[in-house]
Structure 1
């Protein structure tokens, strides 16, 4: 039997989602909790990798089991064994060939910026605080330039380009102001390493008026040699992974959780 779990985590203390030999990962903690329940080692599969310090509201993982525990037992028991910065939100029985990475229709990421002259200790490692004013209108115009199929060579790392094509299809790219916060929401079938952090980095440069819309357009279509700056990982959230006909009732709906994080300083 194959079980799918919706996982929420604070990525602050982890070197990313994927297992690493010499550093603590979210995957390692989940597999340790499954071992404590199942009394055997089980390797999980995730819907995608998140970098060190990146958070998730809707990571999807699967594993195979011969046990007869109920879905509620998987949620409650694994949460008992997991550290407090990782939580199982929902469990499902899925078909045996379901692959959370290969079968994903799209992924939604969100980057959260706080516009404030002073820091909030409750938002440490949750948002990127910028003290200067940003031009939201031009940032929104810039976000729309990403829509469609483009070559994102200027928005990733040389290492990533050795492993995959830089062509990606951006389905949604929106700047949404919410009081002192700015949410950048972007959806695609797949993302390159650091792509979202570099995309929002270029939009922040637009908002600071140190980059023009023509500069950004030239980065997207390859007319210039400008390389985007990458913003810190701690403002980034994997919001949700979409599948055809699956997990539509998932708790990690767009906007809901991050709005709670930012609305009352995370409390």
Structure 2
């Protein structure tokens, strides 16, 4: 939605330098900004024109990577086999490493659709690039009681479980297993993303939670969801339930949203 001027807002050219209330950007004297009479503060033009388009498109970068790999394979086969290239492509599938990107894009899109069930007060950013790396964050949801960093995974028909070793005589070690295979690196990835989001917010009073959300997984009828290294492992419906539980002091949603949109551009 567009952040329109409210009844207590006034567009003006600043006589003195200031700081945007929402994103913390420095505003030089002479620049145009919005003065909020109610709070006696200013906000920058970018925050005032922030729209849903800046939220990003779920799965966009994964789809581009899938298309890039698919097109490169097609070009290679047609070059190597000028006469039979079309037939080879028709009779063979893309390798799993290529199909995985399409599967990932679908997972992000499905979760984005489910996140649309969140209350209107939430702000959600999709497919955000982590500057200085080739990685991205699937979804960042900002609610009045905290921020959620969400990694979507589509492991259709497979069951995520918490595997524990050790105990009384040995150190307790927890790992994430999906159909028996160790996938703990997925948890480590979310923890790294959470750390980057906390750094971008730069406010210890704002809770930041991490979640691995498995789409179309084989969850048991009772239980199933668990937490490992402070990362929630769950499914969409349960994730939304947890996200809407009020348990902390309310935060300034618009300010945090604008700050994170600047820190993590669309991928």
TM-score normalised by the chain length of structure 1: 0.23
The structure with higher relative contact order (CA 8 Å, sep 6+) is: 1
Larger Rg: 2
Could you state the TM-score of these two structures normalised by the residue count of structure 2?
0.23
